[in-house]
Amino acid sequence: MREFDLIEKYFNWKNLESDILGVGDDCALISIDAHQQIATSVDTLIEDVHFPKNTSPKDIAYKALAVNLSDLAAMGATPKYFTLALTLPEFNEYWLQEFSGSLKSLSSQYNIALVGGDTTKGKLSITINATGVVSQNTAMLRSGAQVGDYIFVSNTLGDAALAWHQLQQGKEPSKGLLQQFNRPQPQVELGKVLVDIANSCIDISDGLEQDLSHILNSSNVGARINISDLPLSDELITYIENSYDWCLPLSGGDDYELCFTVSQENIKKVEALEKTLNIRLTAIGIVTKELGLERLGMFKDECSSYQHF
Ligand code: ADP
Ligand code: MG
């Protein structure tokens, strides 16, 4: 059984009050008063699954918090606090000092407070539950895409996947690729301004095709994307020129960029954001009435996205 079928069958109980948005989006939304909602998300990182064995404690801490901030960003929420459940194979003071220092530095950068957690002994695993707030009815949902919307992605795609690919082959990735893999920048500022501009949003953690498909399924629409429009770094362009393999930007995962849809009348606002936030925002396709994800371009291979099961 695939991961998402498992969640749907066993844990999407659909018994929530109508003022709670539960399983199925980047964060759950819980109303606290007439004006505000809590956005909350949890993610686990496990050694050898999410990061290689010799990853530095600084990078592990950074990524564990960054991936949660990325889910808050996808809803357009402002980060507030997080809890940390840590399973450690041993007590190692050096490791803890490095881990704690890096976690603290990222948390102060995004103004999110560590308020509790749990510590146990076992195989290295880090679980962070991050919580933010968002004004009532403004959060960007996966279910808001409209036919005719333009589909945008932030920055470039596939760099983290290329780093992982090279590591698997025993090669040393460039500094830039490793940065993308170990230290993805959560797009919190972008998410906060997109709430007034975008109809739907998701953060790309499992690869563009799979994550965009979550928007399409939730919104009951389809999409046409043009692979020649995908924003790529120079290193990824070189990789594709040599391998003809477009799967890294299409399904590689670990990008932690935002994929969002915008009505035609708001396109100018997105262009303005590129300047004010100094960020690359690229239109890669359009939302269609015909269901399914259609890919335009020469590359026809099926790419498999990462599935835990
Ligand atoms: P993301 O990639 O944005 O972190 P996931 O793919 O992990 O989201 O999860 C998809 C949806 O399923 C989310 O709404 C998440 O909260 C929910 N979910 C995942 N695992 C479980 C679980 N064991 N119990 C309840 N809900 C879950
Ligand atoms: Mg997400």
Q: Tens digits of per-residue pLDDT, 186-225?
A: 999 999 999 999 999 999 999 999 999 999 999 999 999 9
For the chain, the average pLDDT equals 95
pLDDT 10s digits, 227-276? 999 999 999 999 999 999 999 999 998 999 999 999 999 999 999 999 99
Residue 298 confidence class, pLDDT cut points 50, 70, 90: confident
Mean pLDDT of 85-99: 96
Q: Which of 1, 2, 7, 206 to mutate to test the pocket of ligand 1 (most atoms within 8 A of CB)?
A: 7
The per-residue pLDDT for 182 is 94
Give the other-Cβ count within 10 Å of 21's Cβ: 19
Taking the centre of ligand 1 as the mean of its atom positions, its distance from the CA of residue 24, in whole angstroms, is: 6
The pLDDT assigned to 54 comes to: 86
Per-residue pLDDT, averaged over 33-58, amounts to 94
pLDDT category at 305 given cuts 50, 70, 90 is: confident
How far is residue 306 CA from its own chain's centroid? 14
Is the confidence at residue 71, as pLDDT, over 90?
A: yes
Output the residue whose Cα is nearest ligand 1's atom 1.
26
User: What is the distance in A from the centroid of ligand 1 to the CA of 255?
Assistant: 18
Ligand 1: distance of its center to the CA of 244 in Å? 33
Q: How confident is the model at residue 116 (pLDDT cuts 50, 70, 90)?
A: very high
Residue 309 has pLDDT above 80, yes or no: no
Which pLDDT does position 2 carry in this prediction? Answer: 86
Determine the average pLDDT of the residues in 56-72: 98
Distance CA(288)–CA(222), nearest Å, equals: 5
Domains, the chain: 3-135 (3.30.1330.10), 142-296 (3.90.650.10)
pLDDT band at 284 (very low <50, low <70, confident <90, very high): very high
Centre of ligand 1 to C-alpha 41, Å, is 8
Instruction: Grade residue 137 by pLDDT with cuts at 50, 70 and 90.
Output: very high
Confidence label for 163 from pLDDT (cuts 50, 70 and 90): very high
Summarize the confidence of residues 141-145 as an average pLDDT: 98
Does the global pTM surpass 0.85? yes
DSSP 3-state assignment of 221?
coil
Instruction: Give the position, in ligand 1's atom list, of the atom nearest the Cα of 43.
Output: 4
Dihedral angle sign, alpha carbons of residues 219, 222, 224, 227: positive
Give me the sheet containing 28-31, strands edge to edge.
Answer: 20-21, 28-31, 36-46, 125-135, 78-88, 113-121
CA distance linking residue 203 with residue 187, whole number of Å: 9
Atom 13 of ligand 1: nearest residue by CA position? 24
Is the pLDDT at 118 greater than 90? The verdict is: yes
Distance between CA atoms of 89 and 91, rounded to whole angstroms?
A: 7
What percent of the chain has pLDDT above 70? 100
In terms of C-beta density within 10 A (0-12 exposed, 13-18 middle, 19 or more buried), how is residue 114 classed? middle
Q: How confident is the model at residue 296 (pLDDT cuts 50, 70, 90)?
A: very high
Secondary structure letter of residue 104 according to DSSP:
H
Burial (Cβ within 10 Å: 0-12, 13-18, ≥19) of residue 84: buried
Q: How far apart are CA 292 and CA 150, in angstroms?
A: 16
Residue with tokens 């979550």: 214
Dihedral Cα 294, 155, 261, 68, nearest 10 deg: 110
**Which helix (H) or strand (E) element contains residue 222?**
strand 222-226
